[in-house]
Each structure stands twice: as structure tokens, then as C-alpha cells.
Structure 1
Amino acid sequence: MKLMTYVVPCYNSEAYMRNCISTLLASGGEELEIILVDDGSMDGTGRIADEYAARYPEIVRAIHQENGGHGEGVNQGIRNARGLYFKVVDSDDWLDVPSAKELLATIRRHLENGSPADLYICNYVYEHETQGSRVMRYRSTLPVGRIFGWSEIRSFKPWQYLLMHSLVYRTALLRECGLELPKHTFYVDNLFAYIPLPYVKTLCYLDLDLYRYYIGREDQSVNEAVMIRRIDQQLRVTRLMAQAYRGERLAAMDRRLVKYLLNYVTMMMTISSVLLTVDGSPEALEKRAALWSWLKAENPGWYSAIRYRSIATFVNLPGAFGRRLSVQNYRLARRIYKFN
């Protein structure tokens, strides 16, 4: 039985994927499965993936596909995973090995006791190329070291979100919820961290600094200039999230989960608005107005809460002066929280 599947989507990753894979291999033995998805790379990525698959045939599998983007790499992992649990690790990131071993030991213990969680949550660490490290923890929000439900969570801080880096899902749950990430679209990790949550009934938070999220390269998808160039993809993901759960479906959920989902969409709307404001072109400002008009028509209940009673209010100030102030607020938050 495979306890854990680690899926590593790889695109032109030959310069750094070995470091990622080495930490995964060191975290466990044959109870692990590592799926390396070569997403139509044009360098030595595919060769390196095959090399590891040949060296560790009981652990590593290499999948080669035509370029479909990060989301299709994750989709391939979900389709092919044999592990009971599923985690995505980007090829330029890595795991803290002692923390990964402790996570596996906890899952193993819960399985033996007959009480495994649908979702395991750990901390992640921003490893910024020029600004050092910053740990994102949840100890003020989630019970530590035990199984719990949504009714036991406390309010998340404005900077606390359950990003892909912090999540380990039960593999069957990802299939049950029908998760299928869009091809050729960046920022779909937000969908991965959002769409399955209402299907999660039991959670377990371990206060471990597990995931090391490398950030700061100029070509990364979260670089501000890159995000502005790819703003249409950011807008697509934001819209998919905002329309995923509405009306009766929200009414059937725990109110704390609903509040969290609302706050996540608020964050996505805020980032989208700020980036369009930073762009500042007439076309970008038209897209910003169109986004808010769309939300008002698509999900009017959330529109009022997001537009007028959240941080989004401070990034949609009217006029040229208001736009300058909105950008200043964003720059300050970026320096503090190092999110791109």
C-alpha cells in the first residue's frame, strides 16, 4: 500500500528538480510514490525524470505529456496516484525531511486507529531569494495535533490561507469532488486549495514547517510583472472560484467554512484589482470595472461583503489619487508578507 503520493509537475526544471526530488526520497521508503510529470519540457527534465524512475522503480514514476500547464500536471497526478494521500510539490520547491517523516508517522498512526483525516495541514515557509524566510503558521487558528471539523476553526488572519503548499488531501476525496484544473492556465493552485474544501469533513493540523516555497525569481509566475502580463489567467481563476459555491450549497455548509471561502475569494478579487490598478492602462481599468460588475451579477450576496466590507475596499478607491493610494497599500503589504 502506498501511503503518500507526491506529484511534481515539471517544466524545464533541470536546474533545480533534483533538489526537490532528493527531499522527497529522503522522507520515506517504498510506502511513498513520487510521480514526476514532464510537461512537454524542452530541456533535460524528461531525461532526469526517467533517470529517477529507473533508479527507484518501486517509488518513482515518470509521466511525459504534451505541454498542458501546471494544472494538467496536477490532473495527471490525480488520475494516476496510488497513494492514500496526495500532495503537490513544485519542482523548484522542497520539503523539510524531518517534518515530512513526522507527517507520515501521524497519518500512519491515524490509519491504525481507524480515524484518518480527509485533509492534513502543515505550515509552509517562504524562502525568498533576496528577503530571507518567513513561516506561515496556523496555530492561532486551528487546533494542533488532533482531528477536528470546520466548526472548531477560529477566524483566519488576513494573511492566512490554506494554500496548496500547506495541504495534503485524501486522494479519493479529490476524485470524489471531480477536481479538474484548467489547462494552460497559471494560478490554478488556488482552485486546488479551494474547490475540494466543502468535501472535507475532518482535518488535522500539524505545526510543522514542512513545505519550502522558493520565491523571488524574476521569471516566476507570482512575480508582479509576470502576473500583470498573465492577468487574464488570474481573472479566469478568480471567476471560477467566485462562482463555484452559491445559494443553497453555501447554506448547507458550516458557517465558519463559508466565511473562509468568502475571505479567499475576497483575497483573489483584491489581488486581481490591485494588479489591474498597477497596470493602470485604460484597458486594465476597464477589466477591473468589468470584474466587479460580473461579481455583482453572478454572486450579489458576496459582492456587497467583498466590495464594501473587506480589504478590497481599500484597493478600489476612486480617482487617480485613490489608485495611487491603493498601490501604496499593496506595496506595503507585499514588503511585510513577501507574497511575491
Structure 2
Amino acid sequence: MEKTITFGIPCYNAAAYMDKCITSILEGSGYAEDVEIVIVDDGSTKDDTPQKADDWAKRYPNIIRAVHQENGGHGKAVMAAVGAAQGAYFKNIDSDDWFDAEALQRLLTTLRRFDELGDNVDLVITNYVYEHVEDGTQNVVDYRHVLPVGRVFTWGEIGHFKKTQYLLMHALTYRTKTLRAANLQMPAHTFYVDNIYAYVPFPRCHNLYYLDVDLYRYFIGREDQSVNDAVLTSRVDHYWRVARVMWEAYHLYDDVQPRKLREYMMSYFTIIMAICSVFSKKSDRPDAEEQLQKLWDDLKAYDPKMYRRARHGVVGIATNLPGLVGKDITLWGYRVAQKHVKFN
């Protein structure tokens, strides 16, 4: 049977929670055989993730496949799933997250209809929900006042995104051939590459569709999680690497023609540079400020206009205030935003 969609699940020492993720897809889809699940064991060594992946594939050979590779990091595992995918569409889900069953059924119905009608949709957008384990609360991110609902549209029809409303990996279902054509360069052993995944392919996506369902449930609050504040601070150099890959993908003002898409991408990239700035200031690395300055200098040399927009706009100024007082103000602003938005 031809596959409507492939769900890629990167797994690294994920035995404690991968079953919930896999089960949510199987049960939510009604064990449909036009659904494919590709479990990528990214060189797990500390638990029985490899065996679990093989066991799931043996139980559901028409739905699940297991891929094993040497440890390369999250981005390499995502791209291994993309490379193996047989589905017309591809959606990544991290092994500690899960899908809402009703929303998944609606997504599948929508994708099947695209196939029946011959609609060439490059990107389907759905909502996602932050599931905060520490206090049992939820925070839904939707796009109801930004995107046309329930019809095919183009980038020229999008509205203005709030700073809390960007199109993160959790919201994205790509047409597989469109995603492959983007030729994503995911650095090995690097966290936060989901920002590359939710940025570089966009100019190749010409027809979009927004399905207003709360599909992706994003587990947040585990102490070892990559978005945990202390963990992110210790890995600020990963964000430096990600920022470089993003800016080297395009000279935005030369290469990206839809004006609204260009402005969206510039705004999103500005947030990435702001994260680099904030966490460089939080870091204990003795060279953090020096490396941050080099990052800005290299961006300026590569694309002066992108540099001006990112560094001398409101966000860039607010996250790069000079001196110790400026640093304190920047970090205070970050804590306020963190408390309000609850993004990690």
C-alpha cells in the first residue's frame, strides 16, 4: 500500500518514553496501513532503545520500520528518517512527545483528500501544545488569526506572527519531496537543529494549508531536556552553530521573493540571534562574550542588511545592552518572558 505519511521518530536512549509516542500514532491512526512510522535509533547505548525499535517493527511490519545508525545527534536522526520515508508527507515527532488521537485522524483525512484531488500542498500546518509536567498546565500555540483556515494558500496571504507564535517543527508536516529538495545541512552532535528544519525549506513551499487542530503534544519540564534553561545555557555553542547554518542558507533580501515570507524569516532569525545573545550572557564560558561578538561580526560580513535588521532592531538592542547593567536588564527581561510564555 502506498503510504500517505511517514512519521519519523528520532530516538536516543529513549526506552523510558518512546512507547507512548509510538502508541499515540498507532492508536490515533487506527493502525492504518497507509501510515508509516520510521524509528531511528541514533546509536543508543545506555538502555534497550535498539531492541524496542526492532520489537515494534516485528509487531507491525506493515507500518513500522527500525533504522539503526551510529550516534550523529538529533538532526542526523531526523534526516535519516526523511531519507528512509516512503510516505507522500513527512512529520517528525520527538520520542518523548505524542499526538492527540482526534487531531491525528483529521490530519490523515486531510492528507488523503489532497491525494484524491491531486492537490499539490507542500506544507501543512497544525497547532501544538506545551504540556508542562511540573504543574500540569498546558499552553496551546495556534495560528487562527495569522493563517487562512481550511484552504490552500500562499505566503502572500499570511498575517503577522506574534513572538510566541512561530512555526516550529512541532507544527509542520512537509510534502516529503519538498523537504528532500531543501537539502538540509544538519550539523552532527548539535541540539536545536529544529530551527533549521523550520526555516530553510520554507522558500520551497509554495502551497500551504492550515488545519486548525491541536495535534502535537510537546512534553516539557524534564531536567535533562535540551530546552531546560540550565542545559541550554551549557550548550550555547550549539545555538551559535545553528545560527550560522540558518544565515548561510540565504541572503534573505536577495534570495527570498515573497515579501511576507522574507519578513517572517527575518523575524524568526532575529529571535535565534537574540537567544544566542541572552544565553551567551548567561553562560559561564570565559569566551562566551568574545564568541558572541564574533558571531555578530561574521553575520555582518556575510550579509550587512540581515545584520542590521537582527542587531539594530528592537529585539537585537534589548538583548545586547552594553555593560554589566545592560546584562542585568537583558537577563531580567528574559526571565519575565520565560515566566509569561513558559517556553522551557
TM-score tier after normalising by the smaller chain length: over 0.9
Query: In the alignment, is residue 143 of structure 1 matched against residue 148 of structure 2?
Result: yes
Q: Does 1:202 align with 2:203?
A: no
Query: Aligned residue for 2:16?
Result: 15
Say if 1:129 and 1:217, in contact at 8 Å, map to a contact too.
Answer: yes
Secondary structure, in 3 states, of the residue corresponding to 2:287?
A: helix
Q: Which amino acid aligns with 1:336?
A: H
CA distance in 2, matches of 1:158, 1:101: 30
Paired position in structure 2 for 1:40:
43
CA-CA distance at 1:323 after TM superposition: 0.4
Q: Which residue of 1 aligns with 2:165?
A: 160
1:230 to 228, 235, 238: 235
For structure 1, the 5+ residue unaligned runs are none
Q: Which residue of 2 aligns with 1:112?
A: 116
Asked if 2 retains the 8 angstrom alpha-carbon contact of 1:266 and 1:310, the reply is no
- Structure 1 residues 98 and 82: CA distance shift in structure 2, 3 A: same
1:240 to 228, 235, 245: 245
- C-alpha distance in 2 between matches for 1:333 and 1:110: 39
Count, aligned residues:
339
Q: Deviations over 1:75-107 (max 9, x none)?
A: 111111000000000000001111011011011
CA contact (8 A) 2:123 2:209 kept: yes
Q: Which residue of 2 aligns with 1:94?
A: 98
**In the TM superposition, what is the alpha-carbon distance from 1:281 to its structure 2 partner?**
5.3
| Distance in 2 separating the partners of 1:216 and 1:95 | 18
Q: Distance in 1 between matches of 2:332 and 2:190?
A: 28
Whole-angstrom CA distance in 2 between matches of 1:320 and 1:176: 46
Aligned to 1:63: 67
Aligned to 1:169: 174
Structure 2 residue matching 1:287: 3-state secondary structure: helix
Instruction: Give the equivalent residue in structure 2 for 1:6.
Output: 7
Does 2:79 align with 1:75? yes
TM-score by length of 1: 0.97
Q: Secondary structure at the match of 2:126?
A: strand
Within 5 Å, which residues of 2 pair with 1:320-331?
A: 320-331=324-335
CA pair 247-133 structure 1, distance change in 2 beyond 3 A: closer
**Counterpart residue type for residue 228 of structure 2:** N
State the secondary structure of the residue aligned to 1:325: helix
Q: Distance in 1 between matches of 2:24 and 2:305?
A: 45
| Contact 1:78–1:171 (Cα < 8 Å) also in 2 | yes
2:225 matches 1:220: yes
1:239 Cα deviation (Å)? 1.1
In structure 1, C-alpha distance between the alignment counterparts of 2:167 and 2:285, rounded to whole Å: 33
Name the CA shift for 1:67/1:247 in 2 (closer, same or farther; >3 Å).
closer
| Corresponding letter in the other structure for 2:222 | R
Deviation at 1:280, TM superposition (A): 5.8
**Matches of 1:298 and 1:308 in 2, distance apart?**
16
Counterpart CA distance in 2 for 1:268 and 1:180 is: 17
Distance 2:192 2:285 in 1: 23
Q: Which amino acid aligns with 1:147?
A: V
> Which letter maps to 1:141?
V
Q: Which residue does 2:188 correspond to in 1?
A: 183
* Structure 2: 5+ residue stretches without partners: none
- Identify the residue that residue 85 of structure 1 maps to in structure 2: 89
SS at match of 1:205: strand
2:68 match: secondary structure? strand
Aligned with 2:249: secondary structure? Answer: coil
Distance apart, 1:286 and its partner CA? 1.3
* 1:284 equivalent in structure 2: 288
In 1, Cα distance between the equivalents of 2:293 and 2:88?
44
SS in 2 for 1:328: helix
2-side partners of 1:37 and 1:188: how far apart?
16
Q: Distance in 1 between matches of 2:57 and 2:8?
A: 13
